[in-house]
Amino acid sequence: SQKIEQNSEALNIQEGKTATLTCNYTNYSPAYLQWYRQDPGRGPVFLLLIRENEKEKRKERLKVTFDTTLKQSLFHITASQPADSATYLCALSYYGNNRLAFGKGNQVVVIP
Amino acid sequence: NAGVTQTPKFRILKIGQSMTLQCAQDMNHNYMYWYRQDPGMGLKLIYYSVGAGITDKGEVPNGYNVSRSTTEDFPLRLELAAPSQTSVYFCASSSGIRETRYEQYFGPGTRLTVT
């Protein structure tokens, strides 16, 4: 079955630097790869979606890359701010299937 | 728009009791989902629905039931609650229109403890 791996260790980063998170998956490549943000005690919030034929997607200070050869997505937060502190979830979906498979998430702590 | 709403926010159940977790969305989304999230774990899909009257099992359906009689509502029923069902439950919805159907909108969650 599909495995989705995100770093279990929190990423501590100084304000203003770029935070980079990794999402690795096994087996077959998804049609779509998404990133969500989750704050403590709240539901996940959709951030970005990237398709399998796209290499990179940007939204404001966020950038996502998708490498189907490496079976990996990178999620970047540039000019990080304390308000970016949260857990970030990677999620995969496949053609003809509306379901998402989620990774466990990776916590980011931005230090002022 | 209220988006996706869930009630209750918190609940404590005794082993063997039953309850229904309510979920409603006002975005006219066709697709709705129920997940559970255990500490340090990813979201696990319990059940999902692609429209009124249509439901299907996800990854962890045992001990749960769902129904979808309207587009707006997607209640999750727990029968004979067990300690293993202690978790945070999230309801989500998505539009069903082209690739935006993959973008899910989540409710605030219900924290359930079974003792």
Residue B32 confidence (pLDDT): 96
- B40 C-beta neighbours (distance < 10 Å), count: 8
pLDDT at B40: 81
Our CA-based measurement puts residue B48 at a distance from the nearest CA of chain A, in whole angstroms, of: 8
Mean pLDDT of A80-94: 95
Instruction: Inspect the interface and report whether the beta carbons of A44 and B40 lie closer than 8 Å.
Output: no
Distance of CA A60 to the CA centre of its chain: 15
**Who among A41, A93, A104 is closest to B41 (CB)?**
A104
Helical segments of A1-112, H only: none
| pLDDT score for B1 | 77
Interface test with B, best of A32, A100, A104, A106 (most B CBs within 10 A): A100
Do residue B42 and residue A49 have CB atoms under 8 angstroms apart? no
Taking residue B115's Cβ as centre, other Cβ atoms within 10 Å add up to 9
- pLDDT tens digit at each of 115 positions of chain B: 789 999 999 999 999 999 999 999 999 999 999 999 998 888 999 999 999 999 999 999 999 999 999 999 999 999 999 999 999 999 999 987 776 778 999 999 999 999 9
What is the distance between the alpha carbons of residues A106 and B10, in angstroms, rounded to a whole number? Answer: 25
CA distance B96 to A47: 18
Q: How far is the CA of B46 from the CAs of A20, A38, B95, in angstroms?
A: 31, 19, 19
Q: Are B5 and B27 in contact (CB under 8 A)?
A: no
- Cα separation, A111 vs B27, in Å, equals 37
Per-residue pLDDT at B99: 66
Residue B48 to residue A98, Cβ atoms within 8 A: yes
Shortest CA distance to B38 belongs to which of B93, B104, B107, B89? B89
**Interface membership of B21 toward A (CB under 8 Å):** no
Instruction: For residue A17, give how far its alpha carbon lies from the nearest alpha carbon of chain B (Å).
Output: 26
Q: Are A52 and A31 in contact (CB under 8 A)?
A: yes
End-to-end Cα separation, chain B, in angstroms? 36
Q: Looking at residue B73, what DSSP letter applies?
A: B
Which residues between 40 and 59 in chain A have a beta carbon less than 8 angstroms from any beta carbon of chain B? Answer: 41-46, 49, 51
Q: How far apart are CA B6 and CA B114, in angstroms?
A: 19
On chain B, the residues whose CB falls within 8 A of the CB of A101 are: 45
Q: Chain A residues with CB inside 8 Å of B105's CB?
A: 46
